């Protein structure tokens, strides 16, 4: 699977972790909630830095820190996934 960070960056708001990331997280979450489909269980944006190569690379490069991930996860509806 492609890194989640690439999906965010394809929105044209810069690199994951830069200004616009929080707005992109809110946009994706809102779009998921508006889909006219039946859901079962959790349906939303998850930010798994230990499972996503792009998120892991961004953490190693210092593109974002834990407080940034917590802010992004605040608009995701679930929280931070480790």
| Average pLDDT of span 32-44 | 80
Q: How high is the pLDDT of residue 7?
A: 86
User: What is the band of 56 on the pLDDT scale with cuts at 50, 70, 90?
Assistant: very high
Q: How far is CA 69 from CA 39, 63, 65, in A?
A: 25, 11, 7
On the question of pLDDT at 71 being above 70, the answer is yes
Q: How high is the pLDDT of residue 45?
A: 80
Q: Report the C-alpha gap between 66 and 17 in whole angstroms.
A: 11
CA angle 20, 76, 26 (to 5 degrees): 35
On the question of pLDDT at 23 being above 60, the answer is yes
Higher pLDDT, 40 or 58: 58
Predicted TM-score of the model (pTM): 0.76
Q: How high is the pLDDT of residue 81?
A: 56
């Amino acid at each position: 699977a492609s890194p989640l960070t690439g999906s965010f960056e394809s929105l044209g708001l810069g690199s994951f972790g830069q200004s616009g990331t929080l707005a992109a997280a809110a946009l994706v979450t809102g779009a998921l909630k508006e889909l006219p489909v039946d859901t079962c269980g959790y349906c939303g944006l998850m930010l798994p830095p230990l499972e996503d190569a792009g998120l892991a690379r961004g953490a190693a490069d210092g593109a974002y820190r834990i407080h940034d991930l917590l802010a992004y996860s605040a608009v995701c509806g679930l929280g931070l996934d480790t």
